[in-house]
Amino acid sequence: MSAEAPIFTAEYERELEIWLRRRLGWLLIVTMVLSLLGLALVALQIWLLRMEPGRLELEGSWAGPIITLVSTLLTIGLAAWFQWRVRPALHSHEELVRAAGRFVLLSGLFTLATDVASRIWMPGVDTSGFGALALLYFMACMFLPWTVRESLRPMWPLLVVYAASQFLYVALGTGGDAAVQVDTDGTLTEASSRWIEAGVASVFAPLGLLPGLAVCWLRLWMHRRRFRKRMVHSGFFSMRRELSQARAVLGALFPADVSVPGVSFAFRHVPADEVGGDYLHASIAPDGSLRIVQVDVSGHGLAAAMTVARLSGEIDRIVAAQPSIGPGELLQRLNAYCLLTLSRHGIHATAAALLLDPDSGSIRHASAGHPPLYVRGVDACVRRLDSTTLLLGAMSDEDFGSAEETMQLRTGDTLFMLTDGLFEARNRRGEQFGLQRLRASLERAEDPADWAGHLVDVVQGWRDRMADDDLLVATIRWQGAAVPGSRRTGSGSLTVGAVA
Which amino acid type is present at position 182?
Answer: V
pLDDT at res. 129: 63
Q: Check if the beta carbon of residue 348 is closer than 8 Å to that of residue 370.
A: no
pLDDT at res. 424: 87
Calculate ∠ Cα 156-160-162, nearest 5°. 110
| Local confidence pLDDT in tens for the 500 residues of the chain | 444 434 567 778 888 889 999 999 999 999 999 989 988 887 777 776 666 655 544 444 566 677 778 888 898 999 999 999 999 998 888 999 999 999 999 998 988 888 777 777 766 555 556 788 888 899 999 999 989 999 999 999 998 888 888 777 777 664 444 444 444 444 445 666 777 777 777 888 888 889 999 999 998 898 888 887 777 767 666 666 776 777 777 778 888 766 788 899 999 988 877 777 889 999 999 998 999 999 999 876 778 888 888 999 999 999 999 999 999 999 999 999 998 888 888 888 999 999 999 999 999 999 999 999 999 998 889 999 999 988 998 888 788 888 899 999 999 999 999 998 888 888 888 888 999 999 999 988 688 889 999 999 999 888 866 667 788 999 999 988 754 444 443 333 333 333 33
What fold is seen in the domain 254-493?
A: Phosphatase 2c; domain 1 (3.60.40)
pLDDT at res. 180: 44
Backbone angles phi, psi at 286, to 5 degrees: -60, -30
pLDDT at res. 357: 94
286 preceded by a cis bond (ω within 30 of 0) = no
Question: Does the pTM exceed 0.75?
Answer: no
Q: What is the DSSP string of 45-73?
A: HHHHHHH-GGGHHHH--SHHHHHHHHHHH
What residue spans define the domains of the chain? 9-232, 254-493
Q: Please state the separation of Cα 467 from the chain's center in Å.
A: 25
Q: Check if the beta carbon of residue 95 is closer than 8 Å to that of residue 123.
A: no
Query: What SS3 state is found at 478?
Result: strand
pLDDT per residue as tens digits for the range 123-136: 655 555 678 888 88
